């Protein structure tokens, strides 16, 4: 079996977290969902960096509570705080993803996910994909969150990949592209969010997943 690997960030890269989070958090915040989302992402990074390590379900609920407080909403109930983990399986996969994954499998690449969610949550996400991934590295397994390098190092140990045969694909410059660059991993930045960060941090930059198979073939023949 080939040991050429393509690893992916999941949420934001393969799964449309923005659409999914917006739909779920509308139930909590109504017409203030954009404010809650912006505050949520500020607080998520803080909660993930706190010690001791929290499971991602706790990160989600804590960040929602803090976001609501931050923007001056009434305190959310426990049920509202748990809306994201409860509806995790409803987050949609981007329409360009399955054709890209199928093309990579057909070309003989093995596929893995390095995700900041936990085992049980990713098990729900996996149901949205046509086929299972060859390997999944979660925050629960490494007891850490990207942009820590723990996911990358565990994948390297477990897969036995050669650095020349590994490409990482991600949307988040902060969580994935910059750490991959520091570790010397070839990387494709799928810049779905047009965030304006340093494009030179990526080996290849794509606007979406449409050209992914060709880009990977150019990097790992």
What is the CATH T-level fold of the domain 5-16+92-219, as seen in this structure? Rossmann fold (3.40.50)
Q: How many CB atoms are located within 10 Å of the residue 135 CB?
A: 17
Residue ranges of the domains in the chain? 5-16+92-219, 17-88
Please tell me if the domain spanning 5-16+92-219 has the same topology as the one spanning 17-88. no
Note the pTM of the prediction, 2 decimals.
0.94
Class of domain 17-88: mainly alpha
**Strand pairing partners for 93?**
15
**Sequence-separated (6 or more) residues with CB below 8 Å from residue 50:** none
The count of other CB atoms within 10 Å of the CB of residue 30 is 10
DSSP codes joined into one string, 125-193: HHTTSSS--SEEEEHHHHT--TTSSHHHHHHHHHH---GGGEEEEES-IIIIIHHHHHHT-EEEEE-TT
As a whole number of angstroms, the distance between CA 145 and CA 5 comes to 21
User: pLDDT tens digits for the chain (221 residues)?
Assistant: 689 999 999 999 999 999 999 999 987 788 888 999 999 999 999 999 999 999 999 999 999 999 999 998 768 899 999 999 999 999 999 999 999 999 999 999 999 999 999 999 999 999 999 999 999 999 999 999 999 999 999 999 999 999 999 999 999 999 999 999 999 999 999 999 998 898 999 999 999 999 999 999 999 99
Give the Cα separation of 205 and 221 in Å (integer): 18
């Amino acid at each position: 079996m080939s040991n050429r690997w393509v690893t992916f960030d999941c949420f934001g890269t393969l799964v449309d977290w923005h659409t999914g989070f917006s739909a779920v958090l509308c139930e909590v915040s109504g017409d203030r969902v954009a404010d809650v989302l912006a505050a949520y992402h500020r607080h998520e990074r803080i909660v993930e960096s706190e010690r001791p390590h929290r499971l991602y379900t706790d990160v989600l609920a804590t960040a929602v509570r803090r976001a609501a407080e931050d923007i001056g909403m009434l305190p959310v109930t426990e049920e509202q705080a748990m809306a994201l983990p409860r509806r995790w399986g409803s987050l949609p996969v981007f329409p360009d993803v399955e054709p890209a994954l199928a093309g990579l499998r057909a070309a003989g690449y093995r596929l893995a996910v390095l995700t900041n969610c936990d085992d049980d949550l990713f098990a729900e996400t996996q149901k949205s994909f046509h086929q299972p991934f060859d390997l999944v590295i979660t925050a629960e397994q490494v007891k850490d969150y990207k942009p820590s390098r723990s996911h990358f190092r565990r994948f390297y140990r477990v897969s036995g990949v050669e650095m020349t045969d590994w490409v990482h694909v991600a949307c988040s410059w902060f969580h994935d592209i910059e750490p991959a660059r520091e570790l010397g991993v070839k990387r494709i930045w799928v810049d779905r969010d047009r965030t304006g960060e340093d494009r030179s941090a990526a080996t290849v930059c794509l606007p979406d997943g449409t050209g992914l198979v060709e880009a990977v073939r150019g990097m790992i023949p």
